[in-house]
């Protein structure tokens, strides 16, 4: 198994528990230009963007030329999320009221899967969600917005070996009842790529 250091955030996001269920019995749901494949499995359900390709590839990582990474080097690639980036994606997705409603439910849990590019970006995202009323009541529009925000804000520090690969996989475990998000602190405006007046620090690399 590849040694990817995902962010295991204990973050509380919670929605009002209601009888609404957007996912049971559905094979797909669509919102804001994103279609998710819905898979129900006992105590969890998953949401996977139909456009995801690398997320579902198995058989080991590959170098950029397509060659399989040698078994003895399988654990050399590492990536670590930048601090606070998942928190920000959550704050940009859920209002403070929605968050407060969700954080009071211990069953509000989601595992986020990421595809990590060699440059440290997040081109693909997937969700595995606890099969709980509070999570079933989150509309597809919110998961679509969360995916967009995760792709926008979640950046990775990829080590030198990882930069030689086509992509890597990462995970973050989000327990919505563990951490308070501070909505009183405004988030800074992200830098505009190519703006000559903004200095963007390069990622920190290590062997």
156-177 residue pLDDT tens: 999 999 999 999 999 999 999 9
pLDDT of residue 152: 98
pTM of the model: 0.81
pLDDT in tens, 47-75: 999 999 999 998 899 999 999 999 899 89
Residue 178: exposure state from Cβ atoms within 10 A (0-12, 13-18, ≥19) = middle
With vertex at residue 177, the alpha carbon angle to CA 154 and CA 49, rounded to the nearest 5 degrees, is: 40
Chain centroid to CA 49: how far? 12
Closest by CA to 172, choosing from 122, 115, 113, is 113
> What are phi and psi for residue 71, nearest 5 degrees?
-55, -40
pLDDT in tens, 133-154: 999 999 999 999 999 999 999 9
């Amino acid at each position: 198994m590849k040694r990817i250091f995902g962010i295991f955030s204990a973050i509380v996001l919670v929605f009002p528990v209601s009888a609404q269920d957007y996912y049971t019995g559905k094979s797909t749901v669509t919102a804001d230009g994103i279609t998710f494949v819905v898979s129900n499995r006992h105590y969890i359900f998953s949401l996977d963007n139909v456009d995801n390709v690398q997320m579902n590839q198995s058989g080991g990582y590959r170098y950029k030329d397509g060659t399989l990474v040698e078994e003895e080097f399988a654990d050399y690639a590492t990536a670590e999320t930048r601090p606070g980036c998942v928190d920000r994606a959550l704050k940009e997705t859920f209002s403070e009221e929605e968050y407060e409603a969700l954080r009071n439910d211990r069953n509000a849990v989601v595992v986020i899967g990421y595809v990590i590019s060699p440059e440290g970006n997040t081109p693909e995202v997937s969700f595995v969600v606890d099969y709980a009323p509070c999570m079933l009541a989150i509309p597809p529009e919110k998961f679509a917005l969360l995916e967009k925000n995760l792709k926008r804000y979640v950046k990775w520090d990829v080590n030198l070996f990882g930069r030689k690969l086509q992509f890597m996989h990462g995970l973050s475990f989000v327990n919505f009842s563990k951490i308070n998000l501070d909505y009183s602190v405004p988030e800074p405006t992200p830098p505009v790529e190519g703006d000559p007046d903004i200095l963007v620090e390069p990622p920190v690399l290590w062997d």
